[in-house]
Amino acid sequence: MNIDGKLAAQQLREQLAIEVKDLEAKANICPKLVVILVGDDPASQVYVKNKVKQTQEIGMVSNEIRLAEDTSQEVLLGHLYKLNEDTSVHGILVQLPLPKHIDESAIISAISPNKDVDGFHALNSGRLFNGEPGALVPCTPQGCVMLAKQHLGNDLSGMHAVVIGRSNIVGKPVAMLLLQENCTVTITHSRTKNLPEVCQQADILIAAVGIAEFVKAHWVKEGATVIDVGINRITTDDGKTKLVGDVDYNDVVDKCGAITPVPGGVGPMTIACLLKNTITAAKQSVS
């Protein structure tokens, strides 16, 4: 069975559109997101375009700042300092990856934690780690947990969640969120021994590896919920390209209880959660 991320994202956006109207009526603020794109990476351009479009569709304000590939770190930091001070801006997102001459961690640290709608600032990671309310939580991990709950219901307590991947963007934060949901969490990675055997124990299996069709049916417990975060472009036998996940969908689909397809699973939830974070940041700016 497929978990429909497109539908879930659409439902979340509809709910967020109501929250935006409410916020305008009650607090007279309209959440505003500014997205900065450095360089002209085609994939990043598509992501940014979608983010801006979906922000506007639910009644929020969105600005895009496009900077040349050779923009210096100082110039980018200058933009961030201005946006940090601008009270009409509630969310700031710098599209990653950045050109090699720019230090990504210095840029992430320079974004005000209150406007860090990607949730990558160390203060927000720390808040998530400590289970503190008010953290701006990375978008993709939030989407993963929402999709797992869509199939399993709101109570995930006691379930064994196995996460493949330990990145700061997906693996670690999704593990923290699942721990908050009272799952028993195992984080696995490139040095994990007997990975298929560890994965076989999972009631919830989250794959965030970046290797096309890595997870096979014999890794998956009968009836498990599989959340496939991977986005990998492969070339098929007829020379065309297509997107596949980190899970071998055709192999796994009949063994698992439910699976997020790629495309149409976790991907659409990521932008919807970015909108959610911007609204949260706007609400927190007046509370």
Residues marked as catalytic? 51, 95, 118
- Please list the residues that pair with 247 across neighbouring strands: 215
Single-letter amino acid code for the residue at 287: S
Give me the least distance between CB of 227 and ligand NAD, in Å please.
10
Please say which residue, 23 or 164, places its beta carbon nearer to ligand NAD. 164
Instruction: Kindly state whether residue 5 participates in binding ligand NAD, applying the rule CB under 6 A.
Output: no
Give me the least distance between CB of 287 and ligand NAD, in Å please.
29
Q: Taking contact as CB under 6 A, which single stretch among the options 33-41, 48-56, 228-236, 247-255 is the one that binds ligand NAD?
A: 228-236
Listed residue (180, 191, 194, 236) closest to 213, CA to CA: 236
Please say which residue, 83 or 94, places its beta carbon nearer to ligand NAD. 94
Give me the least distance between CB of 279 and ligand NAD, in Å please.
19
For the window 74-103, what string marks contact with ligand NAD as x by the rule CB under 6 A? ------------------------------
Listed residue (181, 173, 185, 49) closest to 120, CA to CA: 173
Give me the least distance between CB of 229 and ligand NAD, in Å please.
4
In Å, what is the CA distance from 217 to each residue of 1, 148, 192, 221, 224?
14, 19, 19, 8, 11
Please say which residue, 182 or 190, places its beta carbon nearer to ligand NAD. 190
User: Could you give phi then psi for residue 138, rounded to 5 degrees?
Assistant: -50, 140
Listed residue (73, 76, 77) closest to 102, CA to CA: 73
Determine the size of the site formed for ligand NAD (CB under 6 A): 25
Q: Pick one of 189, 218, 233, 242: the residue that binds ligand NAD (CB under 6 A).
A: 189
CB burial readout 148-181, b (16+ within 10 A) else e = bbbbbeeebeebbbbbbbbbebbbbbbbbbbbeb
In the DSSP assignment, the letter for residue 134 is T
In Å, what is the CA distance from 23 to each residue of 58, 91, 116?
12, 15, 20
In Å, what is the CA distance from 228 to each residue of 71, 119, 219, 221?
35, 21, 14, 15
Instruction: Kindly give, in sequence order, each residue whose CB lies less than 8 Å from that of residue 287, ignoring residues fewer than 6 positions away.
Output: none
Q: Taking contact as CB under 6 A, which single stretch among the options 115-123, 226-234, 247-255, 276-284 is the one that binds ligand NAD?
A: 226-234
Give me the least distance between CB of 15 and ligand NAD, in Å please.
20
Gap between the Cα atoms of 83 and 214, Å rounded: 41
Q: Pick one of 140, 260, 277, 278: the residue that binds ligand NAD (CB under 6 A).
A: 140
Please say which residue, 91 or 230, places its beta carbon nearer to ligand NAD. 230
In the DSSP assignment, the letter for residue 238 is T
Give me the least distance between CB of 228 and ligand NAD, in Å please.
9
Site for ligand NAD in 142-171 (CB under 6 A): 164-167, 169-171
Q: Pick one of 20, 107, 215, 231: the residue that binds ligand NAD (CB under 6 A).
A: 231
Q: Pick one of 190, 233, 234, 286: the residue that binds ligand NAD (CB under 6 A).
A: 190
- Residues within the interface to ligand NAD (CB under 6 A): 140, 164-167, 169-171, 188-190, 192, 195, 208-211, 229-232, 246, 266-267, 270
